[in-house]
Structure 1
Amino acid sequence: MSRTPARFSGLKSLIPLIFLIFTASIVRAQNRDDTAADTQIWPDVPISIKIDPNYSVIIHATVRLGRNNSAFVNEQVGIGLRRAFGNYFSASLNYRYLNSEPAPARLVREKRIFTDLTPRFPLGHGFQLQDRNRLEWRDVNGRINYRYRNRIQIERSFDIGEKKITPYLAAEAFYDTRFRAWNRKQFFAGSRLPLTRHLTFDGFYMRQLDDRVNPGFLHVFGTFLRLDL
């Protein structure tokens, strides 16, 4: 019988812990986020082009709906290079251009360069933990700042007939040098489902809590339609 390494045995508690934090944060924010709340739809389309067994070019595009799904509030295009180091670590370097209008007549233009470092840990019983670390250089309307993002995700795959579905829970924290604070938290619940050999659907719900931007308290219904070539 396989045994989970001792240093990972406590990590399985992340599932109820993320759920409890998620629920408690919504309750705490309920009375203060009315004027800064929004419901948005994020339909992202990443395309991964494998150039050899370890390297892939990533192309990313999205147009996001906000203001309670009544207007386009964000458009993004980007490109990156990803390197896989075996099955349990990957790194990438990316560029993205963002055009945002979070509120009428408030325009934000951003050029972003970021790197991702993502170790993965098998937890036993089919569970896997991902720890994505992202460092961003951002030119926002001509002003330079930096941001660090740490996303912890736990997932497990299940066979349903001939398909494999992978539900997951995730939490991400943001440190922004503009505020010198951990200002943003995001909590995710979602699932991935391969539709064909090259196409994967990822649907999720995300709750964002951020009292430094407006709107900062978001309910997001999102999809990733990932094409692997």
Structure 2
Amino acid sequence: MITTVSLATAQSPQFLPEIDSSVSINPLVCLRFQAKQTREGGDPTQAELGPSVDFYLKPWIRLKSVTAFDLDEAEKRALIFSAGYRILPSADASTVQRLQLVATANFPLQWGLLLSDRSRADNDWTNGEYDWRYRNRISLQKSLAVHSYHPKVYLRAEEFYESKYQKWSTTALYLGATFPIRSHLELSPYYDHQNNTGKKPNQQLNQLGLIASFYFTATKR
């Protein structure tokens, strides 16, 4: 009798660049565009790009103190709904067309902490075949004060449910920081560890990323 043991495979850290841009149309609507390199949920390394539109509730006064220096208007709102389209071309797999639906809730905590709970549904079409993925991400972040400068640090945990595997197949942990550059740009380096159990053997991924986020307003407030 031969017993086969499946061991998790670990890989060297991979660098994933990302550029995000957003334009606030009015206090309740924001347009976004994203272009990045990604590797998530057991998928191969892919480019991902496309637009989204965010719909906000009015600013919540209780969030004002923990988001006073944030450039991202979404973090100042108690609830955000987003709908987007993404195309994911890949050198190693077929191109994916994705409809992305997101709902995010923000909660202010003691000690200047911000808790965010994001639910995201990815609806994917590849060569006429349909798959879906549900992702739930919990984030905890805090703004720091270095004289007049206010960077942020954050910790995130995310779970993926994959329809093609019919189970919760991926856990991802993120540790990062956000550094504002003047009034329209933030740079966010991060580290990400993923454990993918959709296929055998399990796959361990270690990733380093850098996000450049640009923020603009279409009209004066």
TM-score w.r.t. length of structure 2: 0.79
Post-superposition Cα deviations, 1:152-182, rounded to whole Å, max 9, x if no partner, equal 0001111112211110100000001111100
CA distance in 2 between partners of 1:185 and 1:64 (Å):
15
For 1:19-98, what aligned pairs fall within 5 Å after superposition? 32-34=7-9, 37-63=11-37, 73-86=45-58, 87-98=77-88
Q: Which runs of 4+ in 1 moved over 6 A?
A: none
Read off the aligned partner of 2:86 and give its amino acid letter.
R
In the alignment, structure 1 segments of 5+ residues that lack a partner are 1-30, 66-71
Alignment pair present for 1:174 and 2:164: no
Query: Which deviations, in whole Å up to 9, do the C-alpha atoms of 1:11-59 show, x marking residues without a partner?
Result: xxxxxxxxxxxxxxxxxxxx9233x635311111010011111111110
* Aligned counterpart for 2:113 among listed residues 124, 127, 130: 127
Question: Which residues in structure 2 correspond to 1:150-165 (within 5 Å)?
Answer: 150-165=136-151
Does the 8 A contact of 2:7 with 2:202 survive in 1? no
Structure showing the higher strand proportion among its residues: 1
In 2, the alpha carbon distance for the partners of 1:64 and 1:55 equals 26
Q: Is the 8 A contact 2:133 2:162 kept in 1?
A: yes
Once residues 64 and 92 of structure 1 are traced to their aligned partners in structure 2, the CA distance between those partners, rounded to angstroms, is: 20
| Count, aligned residues | 188
Q: Which has the higher contact order (CA 8 A, sep 6+)?
A: 2
> What amino acid sits opposite 1:59 in the alignment?
F
Provide, for residues 79-125 of structure 1, a one-character-per-residue CA deviation record: whole Å limited to 9, x for no partner: 01011113211110010000124xxxx32311110111000111111
Structure having the larger proportion of residues in helix: 1
Q: RMSD across aligned C-alpha pairs, in angstroms?
A: 2.0
In structure 2, C-alpha distance between the alignment counterparts of 1:64 and 1:130, rounded to whole Å: 22
Match for 2:206: what amino acid? H
**Alpha carbons 1:38, 1:217 under 8 Å: kept:** no
CA change 1:211–1:166 in 2 (3 A) is same
TM-score (norm 1): 0.76
CA distance in 1, matches of 2:22, 2:136: 22
Q: Percent identity of the aligned residues?
A: 25
Letter paired with 2:21: I
Kindly state the Cα deviation for residue 64 of structure 1 after the two structures are TM-superposed.
5.6
In 1, Cα distance between equivalents of 2:205 and 2:8: 9
Work out which of the residue numbers 75, 99, 115 in structure 1 matches 2:101. 115
